[in-house]
């Protein structure tokens, strides 16, 4: 008998936030047979036009969730060609983890992942489909009583509440007991997608596609620090552009979440001529993001509520593990809350979730900041087999299943 057809009563689960973390968690828990409702504040939830890395540890969970790799239109990420920003000289850095030779990391457009997770959470499949409520802002939460109050006055009673509402999480405030804001790193990032057709045939841009399949970076160390990190996605239809830079204006009241192409060109004006055609191919306006991380929290859990994803540990993109941690946590919750879990079991299961996941999430948050801001640690991840084993070689599903059986016994499933 499958979990979804078990005679046990399902839990009523509320997920706050319909981003990658929320949809992944909804998928995992519907597959366990539970009734899941997702509450999203905006009228239409869309992912930003940017890409991410579906690392090996991410793929383990996506497979558990039943995803179709074809729907991601991915490009293999076998390594990075790292260029000196001023001389233009490059060095190829393949991944060190042996397992990646047979199953590579993947470069994926975020909108493609979001669409696939939405299909898995809301469409036909194992367990009752989750229900998505748009324009449903949460204005109050009682973790102890399992209550959510929405802006339209509705009160939702839940056996389990998941705060997947991002780096500015409201649910985090109700769990911790006070507001916790993201810590500024002093770095900001330009983000954009360039149609690959605009770059094809341009003299001097052969370096974009020659050699190893994966990313291209260009770094200028020292003050002010600046870096380009770029790679193809959506079956090489787009070139994902990221430009990280020291930003002394993050506290300026006039700081805006977008910039002009001329601003980007000025920021990288001294980079080698080989990079300039890419900058010139940007649209007139690009996204500009402050890079922040969530400080270490005293707890992720209170009563019948917990956090996952950026709400728990918003990180910098330097380890390409922000979305990975959210998806890992979703998978762990699916394992820890099988059909047969009762409302009375929830606090103990959440305590187990925190014990299993908090240290790992905090490691990623801390390392992502240090490897971007401490000169001695910059670029350590691509050179460290130990770190790659810890991050990429981790099988969330197997580790959580083992932890569950040691903690609750095999009969609890």
CA distances from 275 to 234, 247, 251, 278 (A): 22, 21, 30, 6
Question: Are both 256 and 298 inside the same structural domain?
Answer: no
pLDDT value of residue 294: 92
213 and 152 in a common domain: no
Summarised one tens digit per residue, pLDDT across range 55-96 is 999 999 999 999 999 999 999 999 999 999 999 999 999 999
**Domain assignment present for 319:** yes
Give the Cα separation of 379 and 374 in Å (integer).
10
What are the Cα distances from residue 142, in Å, to 146, 172, 178?
6, 12, 14
Whether 83 is in a domain gets the answer: no
- Across the chain, which distance is largest between two alpha carbons, in Å? 67
Q: For position 376, what pLDDT does the model report?
A: 84
| pTM of the entire predicted model | 0.94
Given 293, 325, 351, which residue is the final one in a domain? 293
* DSSP strands (E only) in 277-357: 285-293, 301-302, 305-307
Q: Are residues 24 and 150 in the same domain?
A: yes
Domain contains 202: yes
pLDDT over 90, % of the chain: 86
Quick one: 304 and 262 in the same domain? no
Show the low-confidence residues of the chain (pLDDT under 50): 1-6
Exposed e or buried b per residue across 248-280, where buried means at least 16 C-beta atoms within 10 angstroms of its C-beta: eeeeeeeeeeebebeebeebbeebbebbeebbe
The residues, any chain, with a CB within 8 Å of residue 7's CB and separated by 6 or more, are none
Domain contains 85: no
Domain count, the chain: 2
Task: Establish if 94 belongs to a structural domain.
Answer: no
- Beta-strand pair 226-233/238-246: antiparallel
Q: Does the residue 96 lie in any domain?
A: no
Residue 110 falls within a domain, yes or no? yes
Alpha-carbon distance of 283 to 267, in angstroms, equals 16
Contact 33, 159 (CB under 8 A): no
Q: Are residues 245 and 362 in the same domain?
A: no
Q: Are residues 369 and 336 in the same domain?
A: yes
> Can you give the CATH number for the domain in which 18 is found?
3.50.50.60
CB atoms within 10 A of CB 195: 13
Residue 47 confidence (pLDDT): 65
Clarify whether residues 245 and 370 are in a common domain.
no
Amino acid 372: pLDDT: 85
Give yes or no: residues 46 and 145 share one domain.
yes
Q: Are 33 and 125 in contact (CB under 8 A)?
A: no
13 in a structural domain: yes
Final residue of a domain: which of 239, 268, 293? 293
Last residue of a domain, one of 262, 293, 324: 293
Q: For residues 115 and 127, what is the distance between their CA atoms, to the nearest angstrom?
A: 19
Kindly state whether residues 206 and 175 are assigned to the same domain.
no
Domain region containing 359: 8-74+104-182+294-412
Exposure b/e, 166-190, CB count within 10 A at least 16 = b: bbbbbbbebbbeeebebeebbbbbb
Q: What pLDDT is stored for residue 355 in this prediction?
A: 98
Query: How, if at all, do strands 147-150 and 226-233 pair?
Result: unpaired
């Amino acid at each position: 008998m499958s979990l979804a057809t078990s005679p046990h009563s399902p839990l009523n689960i509320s997920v706050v936030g319909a981003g990658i973390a929320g949809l992944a968690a909804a998928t995992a828990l519907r597959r366990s047979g539970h009734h899941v409702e997702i509450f999203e504040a905006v009228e239409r939830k869309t992912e930003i036009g940017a890409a991410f890395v579906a690392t090996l540890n991410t793929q383990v969970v996506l497979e558990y969730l039943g995803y179709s790799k074809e729907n991601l239109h991915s490009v293999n990420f076998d390594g990075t060609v790292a260029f000196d920003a001023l001389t233009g000289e490059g060095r190829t850095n393949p991944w060190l983890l042996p397992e990646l030779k047979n199953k590579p990391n993947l470069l994926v457009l975020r909108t493609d992942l979001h669409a696939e997770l939405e299909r898995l959470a809301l469409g036909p499949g194992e367990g009752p489909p989750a229900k998505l409520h748009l324009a449903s802002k949460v204005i109050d939460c009682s973790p102890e009583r399992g209550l959510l109050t929405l802006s339209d006055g509705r009160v939702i009673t839940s056996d389990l509440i998941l705060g997947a509402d991002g780096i500015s999480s409201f649910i985090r405030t109700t769990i911790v007991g006070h507001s916790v804001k993201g810590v500024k790193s002093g770095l900001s990032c330009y983000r954009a997608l360039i149609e690959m057709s605009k770059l094809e045939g341009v003299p001097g841009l052969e370096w974009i596609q020659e050699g190893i399949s994966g990313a291209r970076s260009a770094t200028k160390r020292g003050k002010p620090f600046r870096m380009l990190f770029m790679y193809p996605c959506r079956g090489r239809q787009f070139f994902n552009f990221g430009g990280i830079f020291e930003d002394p204006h993050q506290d300026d009241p006039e700081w805006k979440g977008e910039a002009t192409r001329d601003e980007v060109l000025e920021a990288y004006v001294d980079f080698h001529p080989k990079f300039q055609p890419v900058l010139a191919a940007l649209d007139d306006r690009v996204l500009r993001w402050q890079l922040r991380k969530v400080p270490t929290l005293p707890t992720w859990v209170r009563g019948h509520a917990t956090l996952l994803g950026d709400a728990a540990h918003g990180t910098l993109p330097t380890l390409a593990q922000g979305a990975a941690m959210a998806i890992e946590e979703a998978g762990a919750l699916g394992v820890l809350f099988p059909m047969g879990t009762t409302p009375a079991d929830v606090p103990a299961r959440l305590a187990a979730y925190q014990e299993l996941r908090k240290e790992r999430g905090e490691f990623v948050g801390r390392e992502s900041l240090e490897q971007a801001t401490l000169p001695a640690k910059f670029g350590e991840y691509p050179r460290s087999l130990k770190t790659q084993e810890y991050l990429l070689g981790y099988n969330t599903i197997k580790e959580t299943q083992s932890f569950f059986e040691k903690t609750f016994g095999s009969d609890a499933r």
